[in-house]
Amino acid sequence: MLNSVHKNLSKADSLTPKTGKHLAHLQLHKTGPPAGSDTLANPAPNAIAQDHGVCRIVIGRPIWVADTVKAPLKSDKLPPLPERKVPFLQVHGNILYDVNYYSHIDTPYNETDVYQHTIQTYLDILIKGQYPFRIYLTNHFSNSPLFHNFSDFNLSYTNTAFNQGIKDQLRQQYMNSLPGQQKIDSLENALRNDLAKLNGLHGWMNNPDLIQQLVEAREKAYLAGRNKDTSSWMGNKAGVMGLAGGPQGKVDTAHLDSLYAVRQHQADSLEHEVARLQKLLATTRQAGGAEENKNLQDLQNAESPGQLEKEMRVLHLSDSSLPKGYKTLMAVKSVSVGRSIVNYSELSAKDISINGLQAEYNPSNYYAVATGVVDYRFRDFLLQQPGQPRQYMNVLRYGRGMRDGNSVILTWYQGKRQLYSASSIDTGQTQVPASNLMGLTLQGNYKVTKNILVTAEVAKSSVPAYVSDSSKKEGGLAGQMLHMSDRSNEAYSVMANAFFPATQTRLRGSFKHLGENFQSFSVFTDGSAQTAWNGSLDQLLFKRQLDLVLSAYTNDFSNPYISQQYRSTTVFKSIQATWRRRNWPVLSVGYFPSSQLTKLGNGSYEENLFYTMVGNATYTYTFHKLMMNTTLVYTQFYNRASDSGFTYFNTKNLLLSQSVFLSRLTLQGNASAAANTDYNLYTLEGKAQYNLTKNLQVGAGVKYNEQTVYDIQQWGYSGELTWRIRKLGQIQFSADKGFIPGMNNRLVPNNTGRLTYFKTF
Average of pLDDT values for 490-495? 96
Average of pLDDT values for 172-200? 73
Confidence of residue 277 (pLDDT cuts 50, 70, 90): confident
Confidence of residue 198 (pLDDT cuts 50, 70, 90): confident
Strands, DSSP E only, in 47-88? 47-51, 59-63
Confidence of residue 337 (pLDDT cuts 50, 70, 90): very high
Share of the chain above pLDDT 90, in %: 37
Tally the residues of the chain.
761
Supply the DSSP string of 463-478, one letter for each residue.
Answer: PPTTSTTGGGSTTHHH
> What's residue 97's pLDDT?
97
Cα–Cα dist 435/346, whole Å: 20
Q: What are the pLDDT digits (tens) for 543-595?
A: 999 999 999 988 765 555 554 444 456 788 999 999 999 999 999 999 988 77
pLDDT higher than 90, residue 379: no
Cα–Cα dist 370/341, whole Å: 10
> What's residue 445's pLDDT?
96
Which backbone phi and psi does 335 adopt, to 5 degrees?
-140, 125
Supply the DSSP string of 175-223, one letter for each residue.
Answer: HHTPPP-HHHHHHHHHHHHHHHHHHHHHHHHT-HHHHHHHHHHHHHHHH
pLDDT higher than 80, residue 381: no
Cα–Cα dist 673/543, whole Å: 36
Average of pLDDT values for 633-658? 78
Cα–Cα dist 666/129, whole Å: 43
pLDDT higher than 50, residue 469: yes
> What's residue 11's pLDDT?
40
Cα–Cα dist 151/213, whole Å: 98
Cβ burial 602-630 (10 Å sphere, 16+ → b, else e): ebebbbbbbebebbbbeeeeeeeeeeeee
Tell me the one-letter amino acid at 565: Q
Q: Within 13 Å, how many C-alpha atoms sit on residue 266's CB side?
A: 17
380: DSSP letter:
G
Q: For 655-661, which contacts have Cβ atoms below 8 Å and span 24 or more sequence positions? A: 655/631, 656/630, 656/631, 656/632, 657/629, 657/630, 657/631, 657/632, 657/633, 658/628, 658/629, 658/630, 658/631, 659/628, 659/629, 659/630, 660/626, 660/627, 660/628, 661/626, 661/627, 661/628, 661/629
Q: What is the pTM of this model?
A: 0.68
Lowest mean pLDDT of 90-94, 202-206, 603-607, 692-696, name the range. Answer: 603-607
Of the candidates 638, 652, 545, the residue with the CA atom closest to the CA atom of residue 592: 638
Q: How far is CA 701 from the centre of its chain?
A: 36
Of the candidates 385, 392, 384, 386, the residue with the CA atom closest to the CA atom of residue 435: 392
Which residues are registered as beta bridge partners of 618? 586, 631
SS (H, E, C) 499-534: EECCCCEEEEEEEEEECCCCCCCCCCCCCCCEEEEE
> What's residue 35's pLDDT?
42
Cα–Cα dist 4/377, whole Å: 107
- Tell me the three state secondary structure of residue 694: coil
Give the DSSP H/E element, type plus range, for residue 261.
helix 253-301
Of the candidates 117, 111, 136, the residue with the CA atom closest to the CA atom of residue 125: 136
Cα–Cα dist 365/333, whole Å: 12
pLDDT higher than 80, residue 39: no
Average of pLDDT values for 370-393? 68
Asked if residues 376 and 386 have their Cβ atoms less than 8 Å apart, the reply is no
> What's residue 69's pLDDT?
37
Q: Higher confidence at residue 184 or residue 633?
A: 633
Which backbone phi and psi does 577 adopt, to 5 degrees?
-130, 135
Average of pLDDT values for 628-644? 82
Lowest mean pLDDT of 79-83, 131-135, 344-348, name the range. Answer: 79-83
Average of pLDDT values for 672-692? 92
Asked if residues 716 and 739 have their Cβ atoms less than 8 Å apart, the reply is yes
> What's residue 66's pLDDT?
37
Cα–Cα dist 528/560, whole Å: 12
Vertex 642, ends 638 and 644: CA angle to 5°? Answer: 65
pLDDT higher than 70, residue 294: yes
Of the candidates 530, 497, 535, 528, the residue with the CA atom closest to the CA atom of residue 514: 530
Confidence of residue 601 (pLDDT cuts 50, 70, 90): low
Of the candidates 666, 669, 671, 629, the residue with the CA atom closest to the CA atom of residue 653: 671
C-alpha dihedral, 579 to 581 to 585 to 589, nearest 10°:
0
Count of beta carbons in the 10 Å neighbourhood of residue 225: 9
Vertex 267, ends 261 and 271: CA angle to 5°? Answer: 145
Asked if residues 716 and 56 have their Cβ atoms less than 8 Å apart, the reply is no
pLDDT higher than 90, residue 99: yes
> What's residue 299's pLDDT?
84
67: DSSP letter:
G
Q: Higher confidence at residue 108 or residue 551?
A: 551
pLDDT higher than 80, residue 606: no
Helix and strand tally (H, E) in the chain? Answer: 10, 28
Lowest mean pLDDT of 106-115, 360-369, 425-434, 736-745, name the range. Answer: 425-434
Q: Within 13 Å, how many C-alpha atoms sit on residue 415's CB side?
A: 26
Cα–Cα dist 154/132, whole Å: 14
Lowest mean pLDDT of 80-84, 319-323, 485-489, 730-734, name the range. Answer: 80-84
Cα–Cα dist 414/761, whole Å: 42
Cα–Cα dist 584/546, whole Å: 12
Average pLDDT over all residues of the chain: 77
Asked if residues 689 and 701 have their Cβ atoms less than 8 Å apart, the reply is no
Peptide linkage before 72 cis (omega within 30 of 0) = no
Q: Higher confidence at residue 726 or residue 648?
A: 726
Which residues are registered as beta bridge partners of 507? 498, 537
Tell me the one-letter amino acid at 610: F
Cα–Cα dist 335/131, whole Å: 13
Cα–Cα dist 580/588, whole Å: 9
Of the candidates 390, 344, 387, the residue with the CA atom closest to the CA atom of residue 367: 344
Burial of residue 24 (number of CB atoms within 10 Å: 0-12, 13-18, 19+)? middle
